[in-house]
């Protein structure tokens, strides 16, 4: 077996120790010590802990106490805190049986050093049928593509965003797929830019006519295109079709060029599986640009306060690249209240298709200087090059949903910023990073559901080859993303140094309460406005929403109407304030649907699972309704006997019943409910965690027997009223 990699259980132990000490995510000094003092954990010395003097080293993972003059290692601290280290060891035997994940960068690569990669000799690119080119942002990858395409009769460029496709069409002087009156017209365009979501339009309508062939296929930002195929912008079987078309286009192309500033193993595996390793080369441009200083802030509120000072100087536009739509809207609301609506431009998923947003995007270098603040989310961030000078760009990147590659893509859109700043979440995770394990989880789930639902008996195709091929890509994309998200800040810093930034950590101890209060007020105002609008507008069905143009879709009333439709469809009732609040809190829709499934006959849910298979829903998006119902129904039956708040258990009784349940379903919880090995395995915790998935809660009651536990009666009554 491969050598045991102790990193994952160690990271989980570190996270729990830091949580117990109360220092997780805290600011550190240049020696790696958390600035906040904590009480010493040692039990055998005498000093007054009313004034703590022990400091946790977040880099070396030890605790040093200045009062007793001793340092305590990670394992010692865990033992003194009462953390059972044994719970982190069972993964060891499991990991010994797993193959080590392959490195991100292929071993076979050709290193070059070009300030402008467009100067790369054509002969170098012609050595293999397919070339993967990794070159830093701003080194001329698009210019290289333009030079190579000039000598080809038929060239197809594939990107992952509409905005990027328009930019590429302009720079390459190619047709854009949006220009075609009919899909068949695309087949006759010799030089075409298209997005991954529209690859199906290249399938000829007439039976027996093959896919168009191209002298060269260029996949721009290839790692993001492949990741996009596994995302949520595809419905039903669209991702399967797009993946099949992309593989066929690559297989039939005279030459393939895959470009990305962070190209790596993901693209290498994709192309070599189609063409063979002897047909693919990996060129790594290791030229390091001097990009100046990138300041990394520990608190976003302090960074925003600094941005406020620059905006007040009014010496150029200040830009914010924000990972989440809600945070971007909150930030925009705060600045609109301070500067006026005309001074602030927000581009996010809510309005990116509107006339105003499209006019701004299409003329961004002329429009940008007219604004004091620009705030954008990923809907703009990886699709546009901003050449206009800006006073500063600030990145606000929380742990979800972007990985470090995406964060740098967003930050790199502004090519001429006087200053660059970023806040990146320092919270570490413990997501699965082995693509084989991720693949096996989805594959096994699909296979078990197929057997439970008797797919063969009903003539339903089980696991087709094209489904397995897409699932393999899904597993690799998620493993790559998880590696980054598990240490988002560390990975972000490593990429920054590789891309030529020198890092600086501003002194920003503590929080800016003024900024936090303003952000809270803006957030609450937006929430109240949305609530009032959803409760007052007429419902808009998804079909009506999709049929509307981008200008209508961007209107708040239209989006509120769509949300109202979903709420009323979920609960089967006319909307009320209570329904809105329940839907809006946490995972209201998911919880209710899972709760309702408890009352549906297994045969109906099995039919639903078969319908998903017949509809070619990708394996990683299937609901496994009948299996999940069986797992959760067994929970209620084993622990409580019936779904009733009157059943009260002592902790001893609860532990015994949950022990029986976990003996049967521990692996099922990991596979079907994504329960991680580093989660607490305390029976009470697991039961609470499962009940929350049903919109319920485990409540503690005082009795003559001591503490007893049962289902919260009020929540159960509420969920039953929503059925």
Q: What is the pTM of this model?
A: 0.78
Kindly tell me if the per-residue pLDDT of 94 is higher than 90.
no
The token pair at 334 is 């705060």
Dump pLDDT digits (tens) for 14-59. Answer: 877 887 787 876 777 766 788 788 888 765 444 545 567 788 888 7
- Euclidean distance between CA atoms 473 and 243, whole angstroms: 9
Distance CA 585, CA 344 (A): 29
Nearest to 405 by CA among 350, 482, 351: 482
**Beta strand segments in 33-108, E:** 54-57, 62-65, 70-73
φ, ψ at 386 (rounded to 5°): -100, 105
pLDDT at 326: 92
> Which pLDDT belongs to residue 93?
41
Banded pLDDT at 350 (limits 50, 70, 90) = confident
User: Which of 203, 191, 250 is closest to 225 using CA atoms?
Assistant: 250
| Residue 396, C-beta contacts closer than 8 angstroms, at least 6 positions apart | 300, 303, 320, 321, 322, 323, 327, 331, 422, 423
pLDDT at position 1 is 26
- pLDDT score, position 4: 31
**Tens-digit pLDDT profile for residues 76-85:** 788 777 777 7
> What average pLDDT is seen over the chain?
86
Cα 95 off chain centre by: 25
Query: Does 668 or 9 have the greater pLDDT score?
Result: 668
Encode 156-216 in three state secondary structure.
EEEECCHHHHHHHHHHHCCEEHHHCCCHHHHCCCCEEEEEHHHHHHHCCCCCCCCCCCCCE
158-162: average pLDDT: 89
The pLDDT score that the predictor gives to residue 517 is: 95
């Amino acid at each position: 077996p491969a050598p045991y990699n102790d990193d994952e259980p160690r990271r989980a132990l570190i996270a729990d120790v830091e949580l117990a000490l109360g220092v997780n995510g805290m600011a550190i000094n240049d020696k790696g010590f958390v600035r906040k003092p904590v009480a010493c954990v040692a039990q055998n010395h005498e000093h007054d802990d009313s004034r703590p003097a022990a400091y946790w080293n977040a880099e070396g993972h030890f605790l040093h106490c200045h009062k007793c003059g001793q340092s305590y290692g990670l394992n010692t601290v865990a033992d003194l805190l009462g953390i059972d280290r044994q719970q982190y060891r069972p993964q060891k035997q499991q990991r010994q049986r797993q193959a080590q994940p392959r490195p991100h960068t292929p071993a076979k690569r050709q290193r070059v050093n070009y300030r402008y990669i467009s100067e790369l000799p054509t002969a170098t690119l012609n050595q293999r049928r397919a070339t993967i080119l990794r070159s830093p942002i701003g080194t001329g990858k698009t210019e290289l593509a333009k030079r190579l395409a000039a000598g080809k009769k038929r060239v197809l460029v594939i990107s992952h965003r509409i905005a990027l496709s328009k930019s590429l069409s302009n720079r390459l002087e190619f047709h854009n797929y949006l220009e075609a009156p009919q899909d068949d017209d695309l087949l006759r365009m010799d030089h075409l830019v298209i997005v991954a979501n529209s690859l199906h339009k290249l399938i000829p309508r007439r039976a027996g006519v093959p896919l168009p062939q191209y002298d060269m296929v260029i996949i721009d930002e290839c790692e993001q295109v492949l990741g996009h195929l596994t995302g949520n912008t595809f419905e039903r079987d669209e991702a399967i079709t797009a993946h099949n078309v992309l593989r066929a286009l690559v297989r039939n192309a005279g030459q393939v060029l895959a470009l990305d500033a962070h190209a790596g193993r993901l693209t290498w595996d994709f192309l070599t599986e189609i063409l063979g390793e002897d047909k693919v080369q990996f060129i790594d441009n290791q030229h390091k640009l001097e990009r100046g200083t990138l300041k990394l802030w520990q608190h976003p509120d302090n960074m925003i306060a600094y941005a406020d000072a620059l905006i007040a100087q009014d010496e150029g536009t200040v830009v914010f690249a924000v990972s989440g739509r809600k945070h971007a809207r909150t930030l925009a609301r705060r600045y609109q209240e301070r500067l006026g609506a005309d001074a602030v431009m927000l581009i996010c998923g809510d309005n990116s298709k509107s006339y105003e947003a499209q006019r701004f995007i299409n003329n961004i270098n002329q429009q940008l200087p007219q604004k004091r603040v620009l705030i954008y989310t990923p809907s703009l961030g990886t699709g546009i090059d901003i050449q206009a000078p800006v006073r500063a760009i600030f990145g606000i990147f929380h742990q979800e949903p972007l990985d470090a590659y995406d964060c740098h893509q967003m930050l790199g859109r502004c090519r001429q910023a006087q200053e660059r700043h970023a806040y990146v979440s320092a919270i570490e995770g413990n997501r699965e990073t082995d693509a084989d394990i991720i693949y096996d989880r989805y594959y096994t789930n699909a296979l078990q559901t197929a057997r439970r639902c008797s797919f063969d008996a009903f003539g339903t195709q089980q696991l087709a080859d094209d489904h397995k091929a897409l699932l393999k890509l899904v597993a690799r994309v998620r493993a790559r993303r998880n590696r980054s998200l598990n240490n988002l800040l560390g990975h972000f810093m490593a990429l920054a140094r590789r891309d030529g930034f020198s890092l600086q950590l501003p002194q920003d101890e503590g929080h800016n309460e003024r900024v936090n209060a303003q952000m809270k007020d803006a957030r609450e105002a937006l929430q109240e406005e949305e609530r009032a609008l959803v409760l007052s507008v007429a419902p808009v069905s998804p079909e009506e929403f999709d049929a509307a143009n981008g200008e209508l879709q961007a209107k708040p009333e239209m989006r509120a109407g769509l949300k109202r439709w979903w709420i009323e469809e979920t609960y089967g009732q006319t909307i009320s304030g209570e329904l809105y609040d329940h839907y809006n809190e946490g995972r209201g829709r998911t919880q209710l649907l899972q709760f309702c499934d408890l009352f549906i006959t297994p045969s109906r849910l099995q039919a639903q699972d078969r319908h998903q298979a017949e509809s070619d829903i990708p394996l990683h998006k299937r609901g496994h309704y009948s299996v999940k119902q069986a797992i959760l129904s067994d929970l209620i039956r084993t622990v409580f006997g019936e779904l009733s708040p009157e059943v009260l258990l002592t902790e001893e009784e609860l532990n015994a019943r949950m022990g029986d349940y976990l003996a049967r379903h521990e692996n099922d919880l990991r596979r079907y409910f994504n329960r991680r090995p580093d989660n607490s395995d305390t029976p009470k915790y697991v039961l609470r965690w499962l009940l929350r998935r049903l919109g319920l809660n485990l409540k503690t009651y005082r009795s003559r027997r001591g503490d007893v536990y049962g289902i919260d009666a009020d929540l159960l009554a509420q969920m039953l009223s929503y059925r």
